[in-house]
């Protein structure tokens, strides 16, 4: 049996088609939660969709021109950070003390290098600081004043507090503080994130996530977004994932890493099985069916991990891309600001979900 497996594996190598064109894909998100159509005006819906489309197009344009997945996700996330509609960078929620504290993470699937920052207050685009940490290479995760000092040494653009602050976010905090019926825990159930994942024409994947955290967060709370493996992960062997949701549960499950690991293990088990090796000999036949099977596998794994989050009491969503070119979503809330584009012609943005139950955390 071992000799047969070795022979089939060798034959599969000779049937490879290195000239086959490489797909590209990108997916973005702007947070998940209880998003109800009847509570959003058509004008507001159009504004959010236009903002999502601008960010999606920025990343897709990089990929179309042969640019890297890392450049594509940063192009998208910077626009989302600069847009006050979303809870990241400008438009970030306020902490209990009335400040904006920002977190971000980025990861390159080629070598699994990563950079992350948390608790920064003056960095205009935290995702760019996370990338600078990754490129520096000495550390993965910087926080607070140290991260600010590192950013200053590297010449990253800063902004004053009024750049990040918006009146709707300030009023949201004031309403919470003014309502004696709202406990500290209930205040902490309002949070948000933006993110992007991409596959480039060179077969590399990347993931990035940026957030202002939870409205009314206290005691230096850190969610899943900047935690590599929880809210952000990328591995060329499996996928790239960016998450949004109730961070404590995403950290406990290790959502982004769990999805990538399960997908990698499923692919490895398939490739080393006799059935998988036989199929690899005819890899150019029935391509559509094989691609559909890969898509179902990735979607099933993402859905199962999100079900695990829900089983613990958490909610939210993920976006992911695979080396096969899929751009997928999975969320257990009533909506998620999201978009995706692929080399096969998909180009769409959406806000609301299907029959998902309302979230207990209204503003992810």
Sequence-ordered list of residues with C-beta below 8 angstroms from that of 8, at least 6 positions apart, any chain: 274, 277, 278, 280, 281
| Tokens 């909610």 belong to residue | 315
Pairing of strands 347-352, 335-342: antiparallel
Angle between helices 255-272 and 287-312 (to 10 degrees): 140
Q: Give me the torsion for CA of 30, 36, 41, 43, rounded to 10°.
A: 30
For residues 289 and 294, what is the distance between their CA atoms, to the nearest angstrom? 9
Active-site residue, 193 included: yes
- Which of 193, 209, 244, 333 is the catalytic position? 193
Q: How many helices (H) and strands (E) does the chain have?
A: 12, 12
Written as one string, the DSSP assignment of 270-302 is: HHHSHHHHHHHTTTTSSHHHHHHHHHHHHHHHH
Active-site residues, by number, are: 193
């Amino acid at each position: 049996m071992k000799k047969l497996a070795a022979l089939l594996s060798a034959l599969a190598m000779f049937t490879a088609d290195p000239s086959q064109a490489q797909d590209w894909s990108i997916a973005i998100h702007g947070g998940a939660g209880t998003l109800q159509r009847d509570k959003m005006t058509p004008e507001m819906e159009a504004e959010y969709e236009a903002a999502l489309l601008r960010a999606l197009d920025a990343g897709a344009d990089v990929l179309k021109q042969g640019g890297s997945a890392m450049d594509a996700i940063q192009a998208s996330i910077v626009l989302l950070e600069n847009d006050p509609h979303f809870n990241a960078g400008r438009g970030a929620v306020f902490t209990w003390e009335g400040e904006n504290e920002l977190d971000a993470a980025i990861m390159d699937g080629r070598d699994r290098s990563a950079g992350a920052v948390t608790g920064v207050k003056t960095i205009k685009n935290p995702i760019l600081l996370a990338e600078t940490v990754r490129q520096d290479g000495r550390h993965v995760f910087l926080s607070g004043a140290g991260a600010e000092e590192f950013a200053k040494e590297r010449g990253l653009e800063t902004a004053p507090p009024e750049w990040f602050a918006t009146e709707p976010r300030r009023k949201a905090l004031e309403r919470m503080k003014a309502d004696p019926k709202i406990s500290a825990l209930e205040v902490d159930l309002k949070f948000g994130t933006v993110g992007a994942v991409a596959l480039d024409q060179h077969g590399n994947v990347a993931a990035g996530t940026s957030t202002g955290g939870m409205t009314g967060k206290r005691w230096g709370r850190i969610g899943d977004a900047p935690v590599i493996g929880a809210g952000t992960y990328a591995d060329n062997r499996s996928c790239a994932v960016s998450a949004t949701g109730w961070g404590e549960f995403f950290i406990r499950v290790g959502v982004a890493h769990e999805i990538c690991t399960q997908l990698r293990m499923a692919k490895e088990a398939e490739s080393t099985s006799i059935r998988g090796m036989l199929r690899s000999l005819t890899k150019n036949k029935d391509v559509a069916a094989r691609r559909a099977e890969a898509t179902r596998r990735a979607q099933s794994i993402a859905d199962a991990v999100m079900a695990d989050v829900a089983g613990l009491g958490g909610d939210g969503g993920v976006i992911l891309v695979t080396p096969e070119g899929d751009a997928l979503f999975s969320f257990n809330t009533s909506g998620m600001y999201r978009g995706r584009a692929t080399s096969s012609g998909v180009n769409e943005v959406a806000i609301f979900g299907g029959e998902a139950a309302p979230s207990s955390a209204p503003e992810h």
